[in-house]
Amino acid sequence: MSATDATRTFAGGRYTVERLLGRGGMATVYLAHDRELDRTVAVKVLDERFAADEEVAGRFRREALTAARLGHPNVVAVYDTGVDEGAEYIVMEHVDGEGLDAVLARETTLAPEHVVELAVQACAGLGYAHGQGVVHRDVKPANLLLRPDGLLKVTDFGIARSLDRATTLTQAGTILGTAAYLAPEQARGEEAGPPADVFSLGVVCYQALTGELPWPVESLGQLAAVAETPARPVRDAAPTTPPEVESAVMRALAREPDYRPQDAAAFGAELDGTPTVRVPSSQAETVVLPAPRRRRAARRRIPGIAAAVLAVAILLAALVIGLASRGGGSNAPAQVDQVKSSSDPAGQARNLEAWIHDHTAGG
């Protein structure tokens, strides 16, 4: 980091740069201190090369506005945004950890249960975004940040799109995002809905499980292979992967969006093995609920039946005792005495049954 960067501030000195965190194709990210709230933050600054490019600058501003709407534990929070000496910047939550890309570069593959754990967290964050009408459109390992305590946070909504926008951000054949993780419909420049994020996260899961990409895409020109060639089954490359996890990941990689889980919440449920049903609300949104558990209902009925049987037994016993206490009938006392005098439990049961039969049938 240059000496100039080390002494750089934003928002009139409120944010003081401490060190460089990383550089990307369009922006630089610094670790900084928020003097007003006395906390550590990350400041993302648009590269000065793009300051005059209204399309890029507009996309940068949309990132701030989009991410600021998303308050979820698995989404990096956006605190502030502004322009300082012509430089567009976004102030974000600082995640003390590393990107999943760094983890995979070091480990190559992860245990299936760890992959599921991380993917379910990513699905929680993305599913929340989908519920807010936001599609990320650039899901890849570098945009999944891992804290030391295991919490995953989705970051970089720089090319995110609101679902209520009719236009795409792809123009003149330019594809936004990283080629290897793009859904086929994105590569074709078509509208990208929540299933596009599911596809991209499916590629991330496949890579984490197998150590390789489902398709060897190194350039946009190779994206046609994604639409023409089926991916190698996960368990061919990673035999220890549970079949249900393989099934969920391979469904996420379906070439047609309609054949994938329709949003991240549904994908997370499949990975986690949680049965779900989808219930449309009055606002035409989709709500994921646990599937009905019929066994529980059956167990609740059993105590009611038992109580009814017990009540009948008590009533019959009261009837026998009541008739015996009258002492008026020639048959009743004799048979009741027979029940009392019998030392055989089975015999007692037979005598009581016979007596009840005789005296409830008008005998």
Main-chain phi, psi angles of 89, to 5 degrees? -140, 155
Q: Rounded distance, CA 109 to CA 111, Å?
A: 7
Catalytic residue among 5, 53, 84, 138: 138
**Burial annotation 309-338 (CB, 10 A radius, 16+ → b, else e):** eeeeeeeeeeebeebbeeeeeeebeebbee
User: Could you tell me the CA-to-CA distances from 149 to 98, 153, 182 in Å, in that order?
Assistant: 12, 12, 29
Query: Helix and strand tally (H, E) in the chain?
Result: 13, 13
- Spatial distance between the Cα atoms of 132 and 162, rounded to a whole number of angstroms: 9
263 counts as catalytic: no
Look at residue 39 and give its three-state secondary structure: strand
Output the CA torsion 223→64→46→92 (10° steps).
Answer: -110
Q: Measure the CA–CA gap between 82 and 11, rounded to whole angstroms.
A: 7
Q: Which residues does the annotation mark as catalytic?
A: 138
